[in-house]
Amino acid sequence: MSRADAVDVPDDGARRTPDRLRRRASRLLSQLTMRSDRLVNEGLARVDARKWHYAVLASLQEHGPGSQAELSRRSGIYRSDMVGVLNELAERDLVERGPDPEDRRRNVITISDRGRRRLRRLDKVLDDLHDELLAPLSPAERDQFVQLTTRLLDHHTRTS
Amino acid sequence: MSRADAVDVPDDGARRTPDRLRRRASRLLSQLTMRSDRLVNEGLARVDARKWHYAVLASLQEHGPGSQAELSRRSGIYRSDMVGVLNELAERDLVERGPDPEDRRRNVITISDRGRRRLRRLDKVLDDLHDELLAPLSPAERDQFVQLTTRLLDHHTRTS
DNA sequence: CCGTTGCGTTAGTCCGACTAACGGGATACG
DNA sequence: CGTATCCCGTTAGTCGGACTAACGCAACGG
């Protein structure tokens, strides 16, 4: 099948992580995600961005302006943390925060031209980073991988 | 402007995460891992365990006794955090901490009989949890998934 | 008019990964 | 022999991300 889960395997140099541990999907996932997160965070930090920036900008570009709460829902960022993110984006003039004429208790967030340019740049950066992340896989395998994880994630979000 | 005048896209309910975001492998990974971690942590908590317990016990069972630093290396737990984990394990009489006769500055950790029984139990628990985690995938797909993530992880640990 | 609901915000918890520093014991080397 | 260096166990503390609690305020709905 996979490897030698036979009895008498002399794994001298391999004397590392126990197999039962290494094989567990949950561990593979968290280890890999740690690497992936680091890769992405560092990559984005190099261009003075954070993944939240991308998430919010993408959401604005794709679904148009929205209130903070709505952006929060669309991007998966907690509304508690949204404030800070929007501050960072506003500082950089990537986004404009204005009061909603129709509902004075909320702000409407709009993407700016700079924001749109920024988003294009970040998309490029992320493409490169993902190329690095998925380097060992062939195009077909990358698709497979994305497909499988998508299915898993979907299942667990619906069954939440 | 508000919402209802969407032109041609019938994504009423689907008005959610932007696509470019949703299909990024990095995002899929961190989202999925969050779910997976929660699942596993909660599952283990229900039997008064944590994943570190499993990691250490498995390492002891598979590679025999060792110093704290060595266990740290084998299991990937930071040596700073090892103390706490071993305290928890020792409290429950799953391991024994004794001074190394050959090197008085270090402790030798040994798994106890209770520990061995415990490990078997945890293995069962984890099997069930992984069944839940990978539920939507066929056996073949599960293998595929494990294979792909393993390759990715290996690549990124070697290239670290 | 009042209760409920949603929004923006602040503060703070919890947890995991990771760093810094330290004393003491072990080893290597001059 | 002494000393420099390394390793080990330990404590304390940082950092970032997810998440909760609570509040004030505005709006909507009966």
For residue range A118-157, list pLDDT tens digits in order: 999 999 999 999 999 999 999 999 999 999 999 999 999 8
3-state secondary structure of B14: coil
Least confidently predicted of A95-104, A141-150, B5-14, B107-116: B5-14
pLDDT at B64 over 50: yes
Q: What is the pLDDT of residues B82-108, one digit of tens each?
A: 999 999 999 999 999 888 877 777 889
Characterize the bridge pairing of strands B103-111 and B95-100: antiparallel
Least confidently predicted of A4-8, A40-44, A135-139, B47-51: A4-8
Mean pLDDT score, B3-14: 37
Structural domains of chain A, ranges and CATH numbers in brackets: 25-133 (1.10.10.10)
pLDDT of residue B105: 78
Residues 121-150 of A with CB under 7 A from strand C: none
If one compares B66 and B3, the residue with the highest pLDDT of the two is B66
Q: What is the pLDDT of residues B147-158, one digit of tens each?
A: 999 999 999 998
Name the nearest CA neighbour of B157 among A126, A148, A17, A10: A17
Mean pLDDT score, A12-38: 84
- Rounded to whole angstroms, how far apart are CA atoms A32 and A28? 6
Q: In angstroms, how far is C15 C1' from B38 CA?
A: 12
Give the pLDDT band of residue B126 (cuts 50, 70, 90). very high
Place of tokens 């299915």: A151
Residue B18 with chain A: CB contacts under 8 Å: 58-59, 61-63, 74-75
Could you tell me the two tokens for B154? 């290996």
3-class SS string, chain A: CCCCCCCCCCCCCCCCCCHHHHCCHHHHHHHHHHHHHHHHHHHHHHCCCCHHHHHHHHHHHHHCCECHHHHHHHHCCCHHHHHHHHHHHHHCCCEEEEECCCCCCCEEEEECHHHHHHHHHHHHHHHHHHHHHCCCCCHHHHHHHHHHHHHHHHHHHHCC
B153 near A CB under 8 A: yes
Mean pLDDT score, A77-98: 93
Q: Average pLDDT, whole number, for chain A? A: 88
pLDDT of residue B6: 37
pLDDT of residue B60: 93
pLDDT at A102 over 90: no
Task: For residue B73, give how far its alpha carbon lies from the nearest alpha carbon of chain A (Å).
Answer: 8
Q: Quick check: B25 and A73 CB within 8 A? A: no
Region of A124 please: left (phi>0), alpha (psi -120 to 50) or beta: alpha
Q: Quick check: A135 and B155 CB within 8 A? A: yes
Task: For residue B160, give how far its alpha carbon lies from the nearest alpha carbon of chain A (Å).
Answer: 9
Give the pLDDT band of residue B4 (cuts 50, 70, 90). very low
If one compares A104 and A62, the residue with the highest pLDDT of the two is A62
At residue B106, what are phi and psi to the nearest 5 degrees?
A: -115, 160
Q: Quick check: A136 and B152 CB within 8 A? A: yes
Continuous segment of H or E residues that includes residue A63: helix A51-63
* Nucleotide lying nearest to B109, CA to C1' measure: D9
Angle at A21 between CA A18 and CA A25, to 5 degrees: 145
**Would you give the distance in Å from CA A36 to the centre of its chain?**
9
Of A39, A74, A150, the CB nearest to B28: A150
Could you tell me the two tokens for B15? 């008005």
Residues 71-110 of A with CB under 7 A from strand C: 79-80, 82-83, 86, 105-107
- Rounded to whole angstroms, how far apart are CA atoms A35 and A52? 18
Contact of A86 with A45, CB cutoff 8 Å: no
Question: Which residue of chain B comes nearest to A52, CA vs CA?
Answer: B21
pLDDT at A92 over 80: yes
Q: What is the pLDDT of residues B43-57, one digit of tens each?
A: 999 999 999 999 999
At residue B12, what are phi and psi to the nearest 5 degrees?
A: -45, -70
pLDDT of residue B13: 38
Place of tokens 């619906």: A158
Of A23, A26, A151, the CB nearest to B133: A26
pLDDT of residue A14: 33
Chains A & B: contacts with CB separation below 8 Å? 177
Least confidently predicted of A74-83, A95-104, A105-114, B109-118: A95-104
Mean pLDDT score, B69-89: 93
pLDDT at A22 over 90: no
Bridge partners, residue A111, by sequence:
A95
pLDDT at A12 over 50: no
Q: How many residues are present in chain B?
A: 160
